[in-house]
Structure 1
Amino acid sequence: MPAILNYLLHLSTAAALVLAFFVVYVRITPFDEVLLVRQGNGAAALSLGGTLIGFSATIASALVHTSDYYQFTGWALGAMLVQVLVFAVTTRLLRMSKDQIEANNCAFGGLLGAISLSIGLVNAGCIS
């Protein structure tokens, strides 16, 4: 396959995976992050932003360290599952996450975002 087509295939798949992750993630959160961000809620933006960056780091690592398209897709789907599971466990342990995010507690939103980013980076490292 010509390099440009390979690039476009990987780019479009990566973008679709990030979009799919975004849709899944905002549906499992106990609060409406998109609405909160639109309303200027910094805590929701920090939490969602950290999660997207963490997942994207794993996607980037999968792109760099896998030898074929199917392997890349498999690692990306596995990373998506890990990110969602970590969010579920974290919010159960920090029982007050819904209230804190909705109250625009940016420190708490930053913590959730940092946890997601950390897991994404560890996940990315495991792929390499």
Structure 2
Amino acid sequence: MILVNIVISIAIMIGLQLLGMVIFNWMTPYNDMEELKRGNKAAALAMGGKFIGTAIILGVSAYTNTSIWFMILWFAVGYVCLIAVYWIFEWVTPTIKVSDALKEGNVAVGILLCMVFIGMAFAVSSLII
């Protein structure tokens, strides 16, 4: 029975991680995969930050909850915070259109956004505990 629960939990975690990446891809006005194929390091950094941020929130929500439903709930709360931080970051940097800068390959913006996602994931994870 324990093995079945572990397999189900891992399957749900993989599904949530993939869903999170798909939603982030929909949010950007460019295609993340096309930018990766072009070798766009800025887009890769931003995407990596989204992935790590999502994984941090997912990992903490899985670790701190014994119910799969609560894990999903807390992941959703944390994920909404990551989405919000993207739009807030875009808003507080009015001289830089973040999505355009990433598409153009501005690595500095990619690094900063990556760190913003990771930092927010750690901050939000402290609320989940």
TM-score norm. by structure 2 comes to 0.93
Runs of 4 or more consecutive aligned structure 1 residues displaced over 6 Å after TM superposition: none
> Cα deviation per residue 1:74-113 (whole Å; 9 max; x = unaligned)?
1111112111111111122224212211221111101011
Cross-structure match for 1:75: 74
> Cα deviation per residue 1:57-78 (whole Å; 9 max; x = unaligned)?
0100011111211111111111
* Cα separation, 2, equivalents of 1:48 and 1:40: 13
Cross-structure match for 1:38: 37
* Cα separation, 1, equivalents of 2:7 and 2:124: 24
Q: Structure 2 stretches of 5 or more lacking a match?
A: none
Residues 93 and 30 from structure 1, CA distance in 2 versus in 1: closer, same or farther, beyond 3 angstroms? farther
Structure 1: which amino acid aligns with 2:107? C
Query: Does structure 1 residue 100 correspond to structure 2 residue 101?
Result: yes
Cross-structure match for 2:59: 60
Structure 2: which amino acid aligns with 1:97? V
* Cα separation, 2, equivalents of 1:26 and 1:46: 14
Percentage identity across aligned positions? 20
Structure 1: which amino acid aligns with 2:101? Q
* Cα separation, 2, equivalents of 1:23 and 1:98: 16
Cross-structure match for 1:114: 115
* Cα separation, 1, equivalents of 2:128 and 2:104: 37
Alignment of structure 1 residues 11-50 onto 2, 5 Å: 11-50=10-49
SS of 1:67's equivalent in the other structure is: coil
* Cα separation, 2, equivalents of 1:107 and 1:10: 37
